[in-house]
Amino acid sequence: MHTNGTNSELFENLRLELRRGCLAVAVLLQLRSELYGYAIRKALSEQGLAIDENTLYPLLRRLESQGLLVSQWREEDKRNKRFYRLSPVGEEVLASLLAEWRQMNSALERILAVPASLNMQEQTQ
C-alpha cells in the first residue's frame, strides 16, 4: 500500500512529465513575438503557467540549439538582454506540435466523456 508521501512523489513525477512537453510548446507559442528571458517568464506566469528560471533558460538554449529559436543580445533600459524569437523552422514545428496537442486533447476529452462503468461493459463484451 502506498503512503501519502509516496503518492505525492508519484504525482509530482507524473506532473513533471506532463509539464515537460507542455512547457516547450508554451515557450514556443510565447516567442511568436520577440522577448527576453525574464519577460518570457513573467508573461507565462501572468497567463497561469509559472516556470522556474532553472527550467526556462536551459530550455531556451536547447530550443535554440535545435534551430527552433533565434536570439540576439541587445541593449534595453541600459542593460544588455538576450532576446529570443521563433525561427522559420520553429514556426513549422510549432504548427505540427499544436496539431498533435489538439488531437491528444480531444482524444482525452472523448475518453473522459465516456463513463468508467460503460468502458468496463465494452471491454467485457
Give residues in contact with another protein (CB under 8 A).
36-38, 53-55, 57-58, 61, 73, 79-82
In the complex, least distance from residue 66 CB atom to another protein, rounded to whole angstroms: 12
For the record, the C-alpha cell of 116 comes out as 468508467
- Cα separation, 56 vs 41, whole angstroms: 8
Q: Nearer to another protein by C-beta: 81 or 85?
A: 81
In the complex, least distance from residue 81 CB atom to another protein, rounded to whole angstroms: 6
Residue 112: enclosing H or E segment and its boundaries?
helix 88-113
Q: Nearer to another protein by C-beta: 12 or 100?
A: 12
Q: What is the dihedral of CA 95, 60, 44, 88, to 10 degrees?
A: -30
Q: Nearer to another protein by C-beta: 17 or 109?
A: 17
Give every CB contact of residue 101 below 8 A, 6+ residues apart in sequence.
Answer: 25
In the complex, least distance from residue 37 CB atom to another protein, rounded to whole angstroms: 5
- Cα separation, 112 vs 122, whole angstroms: 15
In the complex, least distance from residue 63 CB atom to another protein, rounded to whole angstroms: 13
